[in-house]
Chains A and B, each alone.
Chain A
């Protein structure tokens, strides 16, 4: 066993023991504890929990790499996955907290005095969370296989077991406090290698400062142009301006409509705490999200610069790919390049045999067949994930840091998975079972139902983690579009438009959700149904990732128009709206549990 592996076992072991201990010491007995952590989570802790809940394995491992490839256009993720918190803090969180129940369908069903509206919101919650969670479980498996050498399946099972332990015992309370710990693990694991590589390339320990004020970006721009790429900072290289706009809106609004994020704001003690915890959440998220573009640029510069100066010292014939051992001009080996080629995430092919590896635009290989070079002059393939994963080795950090990155990736995946599992199971056990089917269920029955639904959700997520449908990774980003087109308009109008009624909300949600779902299926039919090509390429220039924006507009328009041509909501509903708008005041909602 290598030193890195040994450290990984130790660090991952310690963090997992910590999560289990936290879960055990936060066991709950009643539904209020199970669904909303007894509404006793301090604002700053809820902020950290929300940040961990929010930042998935994709944010942690893949986002910097995506930005590195997309350059300017990577802003869709940076803006799209942060801007929604402003919407949450100003438009949704304080009022939902004042309303004070357990779930998104709770609000939608009560506000629109309709079991149909409740059911649609519950179904939307399950669809959104399920598409999202499958990728998370897979992420746990992948991190295990990469760092510990465990088969992916075993990694998934291990992740399921840990999540099951603290989610079943502690419900929302257990999940919340483990997420706080997971945030600390993931942010430390993200920042240490980022600071180290920033120091190495610019001499400045703060990545955000060296990104803006050092000459690294101008140097990167210059070297990109030399190699035939466009400038790194040139906008709209990978997407059109219209599509960048639509995708950013869909991701932002979707963020504000994601059930597992909204539910977090029910767990704080007051309206004021709901506002502040949105601020803390975004501050904690911004720590990672302003570091990611710096890593993206630094790592890309380092990759290009290393390849430009290095020469091929030796080539080892491999079964799947030839391993090129490179050396710097002074004769020292480029060891990280060798070790990452062995994982299949990095591949070279010295096509012109000049003893140098050259990076140019275009695909270097036929797909992922690293024995089949294309005619393009590009000699490099790299997987986006390598931008984050290889940093500790590039910066020559101790093995314990590499182990910490593994623990950070696992924390990111597990925290997001647990939040999603709770959102999904509470839609089934609280909204559908208790609020629709069995309103007379006892507290004991509801707890049993809550725990069994979490178990079902974990098994389902685990199944998809082990047998991922081919399209999972393709549709995860689309969960946002679905949330933007269904939940967000219904909640927003429910608070800000007193005239919004059940007919408007039901039609708005049904059409918004239906349109977005159908469009995604048509645009991604090649991966979902296996058609030779997508049935439609785009909708008026907008891609599947951005289509939720159009669905959202339909939802808003229908809800506003239909609400105005049908009967106004009953007086007690208008009073409910009045009451959620004021932080303190009589509880109009009957039965606050």
Chain B
């Protein structure tokens, strides 16, 4: 949804707030970092939507005949599975962003 008209000026010397490490942060790098972040968010939110809204609500009647353990799959997603997957999604985001931050040298 982001449309940047004027590219941000290459701001140099945006050294970390404490590290004092010299950092060159070009407009391209900023864009690349943000694109990586948006892609990851997109993938994780697609899973978030799938397990809660699609499996738990929109396909509730269709998945009703498919069992997980002793209960219907849609019921499991709506009352257990989606919540467990939500937790996993957040930690996956944390772990991957840790690595992305390091790669782009913006880690704290």
Residues of A near any B CB (own CB < 8 A): 67, 72, 74-75, 78-79, 82-83, 85-86, 89-91, 94, 208, 211-218, 233-236, 241, 244-245, 248, 270-272, 275-276, 278-279, 282-283, 286, 289-290, 293, 496-499, 568, 574-575, 578, 581-587
Interface set, chain B 51-75, CB cutoff 8 A to A: 52-53, 56-58, 60-61, 64, 68-72, 74-75
Bound: A234/B74 CA distance, A: 10
Chain A residues closer than 8 Å to B106, beta-carbon distance: 582-585
Residue of A nearest to B38 (CB): A496
Cβ-defined contact, A499 with B94, below 8 A = no
Cβ-defined contact, A213 with B70, below 8 A = yes
Cβ-defined contact, A498 with B53, below 8 A = no
Chain A residues closer than 8 Å to B2, beta-carbon distance: 496-498
Cβ-defined contact, A75 with B108, below 8 A = no
Given contacts A91-B41, A279-B90, A282-B90, contact A241 B57 (CB under 8 A): yes
Cβ-defined contact, A79 with B11, below 8 A = no
Chain B residues closer than 8 Å to A86, beta-carbon distance: 44-45, 48, 86, 89-90
Bound: A241/B89 CA distance, A: 26
Cβ-defined contact, A585 with B86, below 8 A = no
- Cross-interface CB contact of A279 among B45, B48, B80, B94, cutoff 8 Å: B94
Bound: A79/B53 CA distance, A: 9
The 10 closest A-B pairs by CB, nearest first: A75-B78, A212-B69, A279-B90, A235-B60, A586-B14, A293-B79, A213-B69, A233-B75, A89-B90, A584-B16
Contact with A along B83-99 (1 / 0, CB 8 A): 11011011101100110
Cβ-defined contact, B93 with A568, below 8 A = no
Given contacts A275-B94, A278-B90, A497-B1, contact A233 B83 (CB under 8 A): no
Does chain A have a CB within 8 A of B22? no
- Cross-interface CB contact of B108 among A83, A212, A282, A584, cutoff 8 Å: A584
Chain B residues closer than 8 Å to A496, beta-carbon distance: 1-2
Cβ-defined contact, A585 with B57, below 8 A = no
Bound: A24/B91 CA distance, A: 34
Cβ-defined contact, A276 with B94, below 8 A = yes
Cβ-defined contact, A89 with B93, below 8 A = yes
Bound: A86/B44 CA distance, A: 9
Chain A residues closer than 8 Å to B98, beta-carbon distance: 272
Interface residues of A, dominant DSSP: helix
- Cross-interface CB contact of A83 among B19, B52, B101, cutoff 8 Å: B52
Bound: A586/B10 CA distance, A: 13
Cβ-defined contact, B57 with A248, below 8 A = yes
Chain A residues closer than 8 Å to B107, beta-carbon distance: 272, 583-584
Given contacts A90-B93, A275-B97, contact A85 B86 (CB under 8 A): yes
Interface set, chain B 2-60, CB cutoff 8 A to A: 2-6, 8, 11, 13-17, 19, 23, 25, 30, 33-34, 37, 41, 44-45, 48, 52-53, 56-58, 60
Given contacts A79-B83, A583-B107, contact A245 B17 (CB under 8 A): no
Bound: A575/B7 CA distance, A: 10
Cβ-defined contact, B68 with A79, below 8 A = no
Chain B residues closer than 8 Å to A214, beta-carbon distance: 70
Residues of B near any A CB (own CB < 8 A): 1-6, 8, 11, 13-17, 19, 23, 25, 30, 33-34, 37, 41, 44-45, 48, 52-53, 56-58, 60-61, 64, 68-72, 74-76, 78-80, 82-84, 86-87, 89-91, 93-94, 97-98, 101, 106-108
Chain A CB within 10 Å, residue with most, of B14, B70, B72: B70
Chain A residues closer than 8 Å to B15, beta-carbon distance: 586
Can you list 25 contacts pairing A with B, beta carbon distance less than 8 Å? A72-B79, A75-B78, A83-B82, A83-B86, A86-B48, A86-B86, A90-B45, A212-B68, A212-B70, A217-B75, A233-B72, A235-B78, A236-B61, A241-B60, A248-B52, A272-B108, A275-B94, A279-B90, A499-B3, A568-B5, A574-B8, A581-B34, A584-B16, A584-B19, A586-B15
Given contacts A72-B78, A217-B70, A583-B106, contact A83 B60 (CB under 8 A): no
Q: A79-B57, A578-B30 are in contact. List 15 more A-B contacts (CB 8 A).
A: A72-B78, A78-B79, A79-B52, A86-B44, A86-B48, A89-B93, A91-B41, A94-B97, A217-B75, A241-B57, A270-B108, A272-B98, A272-B101, A286-B86, A583-B106
Given contacts A276-B94, A286-B84, contact A235 B19 (CB under 8 A): no
State how many angstroms separate the Cβ of A225 from the closest Cβ of chain B: 15
Chain A residues closer than 8 Å to B34, beta-carbon distance: 581
Chain A residues closer than 8 Å to B13, beta-carbon distance: 586
Chain A residues closer than 8 Å to B89, beta-carbon distance: 86
State how many angstroms separate the Cβ of A441 from the closest Cβ of chain B: 27
Bound: A289/B85 CA distance, A: 13
Bound: A470/B101 CA distance, A: 51
Bound: A214/B64 CA distance, A: 18
Bound: A29/B74 CA distance, A: 52
Cβ-defined contact, B8 with A75, below 8 A = no
Chain A CB within 10 Å, residue with most, of B68, B91, B98: B91
Bound: A198/B56 CA distance, A: 25
Chain B residues closer than 8 Å to A233, beta-carbon distance: 64, 71-72, 75
Bound: A582/B48 CA distance, A: 24
Bound: A271/B45 CA distance, A: 20
Bound: A78/B81 CA distance, A: 11
Chain A residues closer than 8 Å to B90, beta-carbon distance: 85-86, 89-90, 275, 278-279, 282
Given contacts A85-B86, A86-B48, A279-B91, contact A582 B30 (CB under 8 A): yes
